[in-house]
Structure 1
């Protein structure tokens, strides 16, 4: 727990004794959630490659893929002492279910447990994976799939990994769970199945184009090939696969390259590798991965499974996704958890308003409800007055600028990047020292740094005032407030 999530939990627990018991229990639940493990919701359209990417992130081929019953259920992946699967029903009861062969979540629950999928709230998958240390990953049904019941995902997660097709539109993004609610802060957007777009350059161009179109909602978009990432990180590639790839390198290169033009042609071509082995290579690597692996072995015949996996990982783009998750989610987990706590309190306030209206319409007493309304309103007002929102606004401004959705002059874009890491909500000595170094004032005192902050605040206010388009004006306003706050901190 960090400062802001701790403060959220403390404020909710302090308010709980002054409200009715059901509302008090809900506030205690909000406090417990603020203290709990942050959750990353993975969301996207059907067949966008979400579950494959989940497997790559947790380091196991465990998430179900395809069109089975379990791909239409919410699955929560948490770290634990043993690998296990529990089916959590709508009434809160749990039923253990053995994992399928290879440690995967089975495709169906009806046949194995006699449970109607409509009565399942979510799947709880416990893994011994280090990747889940301090993070819960929530895999959602693809947007557009049939689902009768499930958790309120936007309020159930602190951050979102949004997997998009190259054709994604703004209205589709707004329908994706978590994306519009979170805004660019706490969202990592990726172009899923980037290998289907074309070459690596084509995928990069498509991701940049998506960023320009959707970056105001999501920030920059990173291309990723989930299948290559999954195979590289889960240990799915084995020695016999390496032998099959080596045999392909010994065949006529022109024949191999021609066969790789089409999956069916590759399966039927006259090649020195059996059909079952070829089909397995297609399942693990697809044509792009096979081409890459064969290229590695042609250049370095001594390369082993680990070398091939490293090449696959590099080509997958997963390293860039993980870096964005580290800087955008893990390093901001405290801020994101506090902001999520505020959203949950706002949800309680909305529910209380609806209950008071219903009581009034039915002629029932409303005094107790009105009292709880006032106290929840005061709590939410106090939470929203905290300076952490300025830091989140700066994070969103930086994401919009990096995506290209909001264009800034080069000097101002660099200034924004400097400020975004300064921790304006609660700047400590080390962050202020780093800020001074980055603006060329490493040996200056607090007075000189305060003067620099005042000048930058004035420059951004001027930029926001004189005919600046609304999107850029919003960014400029956030940066102006950030420099102004730092000036206030430095001058007392």
Structure 2
């Protein structure tokens, strides 16, 4: 999984000061202090993305494909009933965190280039979660979490996932989620809406990507199954109820993706032998799994090897691989790359990078503000007035959540014209938060060139926003883009006196070291008040209102 640069800087100084002050105020309330301390530590760690969905949705298989190794159990064993966190580590390591708070190091059982997990005698209800350290480059920018099925027949098993994501009692275990489904149901939408309301995206869809999972099984596994899955995903993404809770809907064939990422030369040789066998015999075998694994078959590949291929690739994967080899796929590497491409995994990786990891500081910063607010509301203490004032100041100064929401909304018809969307997304920081990346310049562009392009871009977008014939939602979205460009220019101009301006994508005042002690407002300092009717927030409210009105208009029957 590729992860790009993560924005213009670390979370703002004011946010760290707010958390430190809150930790000090709640020093005699261990539960609240621990929660705040854990949230502060999360500011410096990789983003945590949970894979969530119903039982048998393919969560563990997709996680293995994202990691590039078989580290998550895919059977119905006891470990699939426990939340398991996969993070980057120099050496493989497995730690069991028990419900009573103790931690126990477990033996590492490596099998076939992967990992075999067990609970070492503990019952699932006695385990809070497993933590797996694994030396995979794809785990460096993001920590992945495998969760039990949300619709398990065991109420206790499903409850573990809900508790892991819930923020009512503690810090939630995920900053964003990839939700796997084969057909989105009303309770799935309700689940996602609940997560959004507690996540760091201000209730927008920016913290969720929906995956139409096991896409190769749509259309009975025919060679055109993935095209059919594309159409289903497109229809699903056009549903206003889905748009409200998810930033994208992507079809992914997890088993095909995993096979592509872990394909071995011997498997390619077996597939090549099948591709070169008499076509009529092979086509007859490909009619069903039973025929393919039949002991007596007129092909030079044993039944044992054929059964292993079926387990690794699935029926669709076997059919597709044989067709690709017949079409001239020369070696195992070429076939593996093609399988990954066709599976939809590369598209999902790009979306995770763009929507999550490249904006991780923004998501974690907003989530930290939500944690502080939750603690203050649940457990008010004398002297918390200064914390409330600083919390509100940081919230009002933040432009980042507005950018996140508009990036998610920009793909919908009616928000921005098609010819403006690509540039708008770049200017909003969808591909990275540095001034050069936002302005479409090389990383080593001179400050003069950056400033010149920023001024030209602001002028051009302001002219677009002045069009009186443009829909209100479009003009308001353009105002958000202009605000982002102005923030880029302000960053290039350096720190100014008075209230520190929010850097693009920083979620509040500038990063540490950008202000002198005299310029940085103290916690609770009421100078430099922030105007609560900042154009960014106001504009996005207009955008969302226009979208809701458009959806209502679409639902009304036409007048006779």
TM normalised by structure 2 equals 0.72
Q: Which residue is 1:115 aligned to?
A: 122
Q: Give the SS at the match of 1:300.
A: coil
Q: Which has the higher helix share?
A: 1
Q: Which residue is 2:479 aligned to?
A: 480
Q: Give the SS at the match of 1:217.
A: coil
Name which of 164, 175, 198 aligns with 2:191. 175
Conservation of the 8 A alpha-carbon contact between 2:82 and 2:160 = no
Conservation of the 8 A alpha-carbon contact between 1:9 and 1:30 = no
Q: Which residue is 1:187 aligned to?
A: 208
Name which of 46, 53, 62 aligns with 1:44. 53
Name which of 418, 425, 439 aligns with 1:420. 425
Q: Which residue is 1:159 aligned to?
A: 176
Q: Which residue is 2:73 aligned to?
A: 64
The 1:446–1:85 alpha-carbon spacing in structure 2 relative to 1, beyond 3 Å, is: closer
Conservation of the 8 A alpha-carbon contact between 2:403 and 2:480 = no
| Offset, 1:220 | 2.2
Q: Give the gaps of 5 or more residues in structure 2.
A: 1-5, 167-171, 220-224, 494-560
> After superposition, where does 1:98-113 map in structure 2 within 5 Å?
98-100=107-109, 101-102=111-112, 106=116, 108-109=118-119, 113=120
Give distance in 1, aligned partners of 2:285 and 2:264: 23
Conservation of the 8 A alpha-carbon contact between 2:230 and 2:251 = yes
Give distance in 1, aligned partners of 2:311 and 2:66: 19
> After superposition, where does 1:138-149 map in structure 2 within 5 Å?
138-145=145-152, 146=154, 147=157, 148-149=159-160
Give distance in 2, aligned partners of 1:55 and 1:132: 11
| Offset, 1:460 | 8.5
Name which of 132, 140, 143 aligns with 1:125. 132
Give distance in 2, aligned partners of 1:312 and 1:447: 45
Give distance in 1, aligned partners of 2:451 and 2:104: 63
Conservation of the 8 A alpha-carbon contact between 2:46 and 2:360 = no
Q: What RMSD over aligned residues (CA atoms) do the two structures have, in Å?
A: 3.3
Q: Which residue is 1:220 aligned to?
A: 248
Whether 1:87 and 2:93 are equivalent positions in the alignment is: no
Q: Give the gaps of 5 or more residues in structure 1.
A: 354-368, 465-472
* Structure with greater contact order relative to length (CA < 8 Å, sep ≥ 6): 2
Give distance in 1, aligned partners of 2:243 and 2:206: 11
Q: Which residue is 1:333 aligned to?
A: 360
Whether 1:452 and 2:473 are equivalent positions in the alignment is: no
Deviations 1:217-265 (A, max 9, x none): 21221111111111121x3x33332232222123221221232121122
Deviations 1:25-65 (A, max 9, x none): 43332211212222111112211111111001111101011
The 1:44–1:135 alpha-carbon spacing in structure 2 relative to 1, beyond 3 Å, is: same
Q: Give the SS at the match of 2:245.
A: helix
Whether 1:210 and 2:236 are equivalent positions in the alignment is: yes
Conservation of the 8 A alpha-carbon contact between 2:254 and 2:343 = yes
> After superposition, where does 1:226-375 map in structure 2 within 5 Å?
226-233=254-261, 235=262, 237-268=263-294, 270-272=297-299, 273-300=301-328, 303-352=330-379, 369-372=381-384, 374-375=385-386
Give distance in 1, aligned partners of 2:164 and 2:393: 25
State the number of aligned residues. 450
Whether 1:407 and 2:416 are equivalent positions in the alignment is: no
| Offset, 1:307 | 2.4
Name which of 374, 388, 396 aligns with 1:377. 388
Conservation of the 8 A alpha-carbon contact between 2:52 and 2:177 = yes
Q: Give the SS at the match of 1:4.
A: coil
Deviations 1:383-427 (A, max 9, x none): 31232xx3333332332342xxx4227x63443442333258998
The 1:488–1:240 alpha-carbon spacing in structure 2 relative to 1, beyond 3 Å, is: closer
Q: Give the SS at the match of 2:238.
A: helix
Give distance in 2, aligned partners of 1:71 and 1:445: 52
Deviations 1:166-190 (A, max 9, x none): x213431331584564532233322
Conservation of the 8 A alpha-carbon contact between 1:160 and 1:179 = no
Conservation of the 8 A alpha-carbon contact between 2:22 and 2:372 = no
Q: Which residue is 2:497 aligned to?
A: none
The 1:407–1:102 alpha-carbon spacing in structure 2 relative to 1, beyond 3 Å, is: same
| Offset, 1:349 | 2.4
Conservation of the 8 A alpha-carbon contact between 1:393 and 1:478 = no
TM normalised by structure 1 equals 0.81
| Offset, 1:24 | 4.1
Give distance in 1, aligned partners of 2:351 and 2:471: 29
